[in-house]
Amino acid sequence: MIIDFHVHCFPDKLAPRAVSQLAATAGIPPRVDGTISGLKESMKKAGVSKSVVLSIATKATQTENINNWSAEIQDEEIIAFGSIHPDYGDWKRELFRMKDMGIRGIKFHPDYQQFFVDDKKMFPIYETAFGLGLIVVFHAGVDIGLPAPYHATPERLEKIVRTFPGCKVVAAHMGGFSFWDDVERFLVGTDIYLDTSYSLDFIDDKQAKRIIKNHDLKKILFATDSPWMDQGEAISKLKGLNLGEEAENAILGLNAKALLEL
């Protein structure tokens, strides 16, 4: 079973405009059209069994609608996480509602949502989410197309892991896109999951292998950041690291299966 732990989709009516705008901002051409049907076609072609759709509430008013859509799109192939905007006042009720709707986790993008990941104002939200058993995914490092300051660096994420030991935290983009040395300094060996989304083409193979080797193998998750990376090509890239069959199987699906309690 191959599980892609980090993809993005939009409702059919919104997908063309959303993907076009994001592509223009980042200067990255999409590999699929950003719809659920487009993702499923990609999954079938690449041999991916399940994908985790991560959505972001960039405005407080989007929070409930995004979570409703996330619950609606879930099926045998799609697992969808919800989102909480930091300025959404009724966040505690919404977290409980997400749990009741069968949503397994939350995605935060501190750059888009304009907060530093280790800002203590966020800690009550994190604590409640972790208490409900929810997985919390953070965009980490540089977001291509957005300027500094970067709100979720490895050093800041290490503070979250230290403050909430034993909780389910995922740092996207191998712990911090373009902050690879800081990933090794602050995150490798800690109790945090690293996903491979949109990273393996940009990090030196030797450093990627070193991070994986020195981190807990059970906490490395295959991910693509689709529609910005082709799922089949990402699988080939991971296999090209020659990590061995046991490590490949763990990263491509077994680790996510355990984390998601499938």
Overall number of domains in the chain? 1
Longest alpha-carbon distance in the chain: 48
Q: Left if phi > 0, otherwise alpha if psi is -120 to 50, otherwise beta: which for 104?
A: alpha
- How many Å apart are CA 163 and CA 258, to the nearest integer? 23
> Containing domain of residue 63, as a range?
3-260
Across the chain, mean pLDDT equals: 97
CATH number of the domain encompassing residue 116? 3.20.20.140
Residue type, 74: Q
Q: What is the pLDDT of residues 44-101, one digit of tens each?
A: 999 999 999 999 999 999 999 999 999 999 999 999 999 999 999 999 999 999 999 9
Helix (H) or strand (E) holding 194: strand 193-195
Question: Which letter, b or e, does each residue of 229-245 get, where b requires 16 or more Cβ atoms within 10 Å of its Cβ?
Answer: bbbbebbebbeebebee
Residue 145, pLDDT score: 84
- How many Å apart are CA 40 and CA 18, to the nearest integer? 19
pTM of model > 0.95: yes
